[in-house]
Amino acid sequence: MCGICGQFRFDGGNVSSKSLTSMMSKIARRGPDSNGKWLEGKVGFGHQRLSIIDLSSHGNQPMVDELLKLTLVFNGTIYNYKSLRSQLIGKGYSFFSHSDTEVIIKAYHYWGEDCVKYLDGMFAFCVWDKSNEKLFIARDRIGIKPLYYNLSNKAFTFASNSQALLTQELDKSISPLALQQQLSLHGVVPAPNTIISGIRKVKPATVITINKKGLLKEKTYWQPSASRSERNLSDEDYVEKAHELLTAAVTKRMAATDVPIGVLLSGGLDSSLLVALLKEAGHEDIRTFSIGFEDIDNEAGSEFEYSDQIVSKFKTQHQKYVVSNAEVLPRLSEAVMNMAEPMVGQDAVAFYLLSEQVSKHIKVVLSGQGADEAFAGYFWYPRMAAERGDEVERFSKHYVDRSHEEYLQAVMPTYQCENHTYKWLNKEFAKTGADSFIDKVFRTDITKLIVDDPVKRVDNMTMAWGLEARVPFLDTELVEWALKMPANLKMKEEGKYPLKKIARKLLPSSVIDRKKGYFPMPALKYVQGEFLEFMSDILTSSACLNRGVFDQNYVNKVINSPRDYMTALNGSRLWHLALFEFWMQINVDR
């Protein structure tokens, strides 16, 4: 919905207006409708607004409640804001706007730090509590909305992306720990770390308080269980409840807006099911949008044959875009410039180019992210389940991009370090509250890995065009229910059985039973031609050599035979290296 930034100084100095302006320039694309700045001595907030709820100036931010002595900047949407508003009015509060932003202010005043437990939505926000001289920061349960920060002995500085923080004085060196994870977990660096040593990110389902002395306290307020407490339920019971919760998730995301909403229609089961559920709930004039790329070898670059069937069946208002490979490279730097962290998922660029077109028509879209993680849609889940032995080894064999031995070959001695990925996975799998190894995998994916892979990609690439993406499959109640489902139920029929069962009465069988697609962009997977030349140029550039991260012997081997260096998830290791270096050149060096 917006871009936010701010600073709280505890060194006796005042926040600089110029400093805020610099940060706001880096989040401006997230909120093109209006902007605002608020400074009060040692505290200052900046805001770029995408107007979705209460389009009037009363919804502008930073929002100041003089009576309650609270000031707020907020990114996201609170889906239950109307019911919370009524509840708070009943408790004696009066409102000067009809926004969900003001509801957060009143909720914080009434419930204090527990206010997040009452908020149903996607959010990242910061409250300045003048009476208690402290900041209160919160991020939603799944981590759909991002929030980055830097903590020094002078100040706490935060923003919706790392580019805004990079305008400030901080340690811009590369973290060896994060680099090892970046190159092992296909671009995922689990919170709170980032690839930049001086930048951290707020963990999902976490609140932070900072007092006037700079003391930071952190607390997790939500942790889903992957254990089944109700063991007498039938498969039909599980599926019926999932249908009910998914319908509710779609409906409330359509209701919480004062502007039209569309659907990003890939042609896969997930986005097609969203269209069907909208129709089932009585919505007419549904707007859908699809994008396709050129084929490479036997790899299809579009899924139009399936999305066209959904358009025909549900009579949606459809826009279809075709992008040639010749158009991709000239636009690649734009997409990378809008990545808060290096993102190797090939669909990042696809989302960026699609969002550009969609934003010309609407401001809010529904997207199918999270369905594969919640309902076991990926091919590697059954492969992991079939393995025996050490849990981390079972997981790593089918997920981790390169062994630790290969990582040590890939980087220079400065960045050679222990296997932080293995340590992190061990810690995640050791947590209680999961009935089996595969339940631990599902929980780790939906609460940790998804946050810094597909969820972050969708947020960054859509918000780069002032387009808000809402993700019904990551609704809190639906995620909690999915984690309680028996693993074998979810993995039936090659995965996502509950969704396929729901879809049988709603969608064509050809869409339900098709081979799974991955929002394809083959040119970044099967690297050849001008794309190979482009990546080679990046990795042999003087900037890359001077950075001293990658071992050039390893780089040359990968460049000379890119198809021999594919990952367990069928990604390109060459693209991983090139994207990381390209991101550094664009976002850190410039």
147 and 105 part of one domain: yes
DSSP class of residue 411 equals B
Q: What is the pLDDT at residue 521?
A: 58
* Domain end (from 161, 191, 220): 220
Residues in the chain: 590
End-of-domain residue from the set 485, 520, 555: 520
The SS3 call for residue 158 is strand
Output the DSSP codes for 208-266: EEEETT--EEEEE-----BS-S--S--HHHHHHHHHHHHHHHHHHHHHS-SS-EEEE--
- Considering the domain architecture, whether residues 282 and 197 belong to the same structural domain is answered as no
Our measurement of the distance from residue 178's CA atom to the centroid of its chain's CA atoms, rounded to an integer in Å, reads: 18
More confident residue, 136 or 300: 136
Whether the predicted model's global pTM rises above the 0.85 cut: yes
Give residue 364's domain range: 235-320+347-375+439-520
Residue 327, domain member (yes or no): no
Whether residue 519 is predicted with pLDDT greater than 80 in this model: the reply is no
Question: Measured at the alpha carbon of residue 371, what is the angle toward residues 400 and 229, in degrees to the nearest 5?
Answer: 95
Q: Is residue 409 part of a domain?
A: no
Shared domain for 185 and 266, answered yes or no, is no
Domain harbouring 287, CATH code = 3.40.50.620
Neighbours of 86 (CB within 10 A): 9
Residue 66 shares a structural domain with residue 177:
yes
CATH code at 25?
3.60.20.10
Residue 328: per-residue pLDDT:
81
7 and 107 share one domain: yes
Do 116 and 25 share a structural domain? yes
Residues 263, 190 share a domain? no
How many whole angstroms separate alpha carbon 59 and alpha carbon 101? Answer: 7
- Together in a domain, 309 and 356: yes
391 falls within a domain: no
Residue 58 has pLDDT above 80, yes or no: yes
Do residues 276 and 371 share a domain? Answer: yes
End-to-end CA distance of the chain: give it in Å, rounded: 28
Domain count, the chain: 2
pLDDT band, very low/low/confident/very high, at 322 (cuts 50, 70, 90):
confident
Residue with tokens 């064509």: 508
Strand partners, 135: 128, 210
pLDDT interval class at 296 (50, 70, 90): low
**Both 155 and 15 in a single domain?**
yes
Asked if residue 415 is part of any domain, the answer here is no
**Is 536 inside a domain boundary?**
no
Does 288 share its domain with 215?
A: no
Query: Of 520, 553, 580, which closes a domain?
Result: 520
Asked whether residue 527 is assigned to any structural domain, the reply reads no
Based on the fold, state whether residues 260 and 211 are members of the same structural domain.
no
Q: Which pLDDT score, from 0 to 100, does residue 340 have?
A: 98
Q: Is residue 226 part of a domain?
A: no
pLDDT digits (tens, 9 = 90+) for 134-189: 999 999 999 999 999 999 999 999 999 999 999 999 999 999 999 999 999 999 99
Average confidence score pLDDT of the chain: 94
What pLDDT, on a 0 to 100 scale, did the predictor assign at position 517?
A: 60
Q: Is residue 582 part of a domain?
A: no
Please choose, from the candidates 575, 536, 577, 585, the residue with its C-alpha nearest in 3D space to the C-alpha of residue 559: 536
Q: For residue 423, what pLDDT is reported?
A: 97
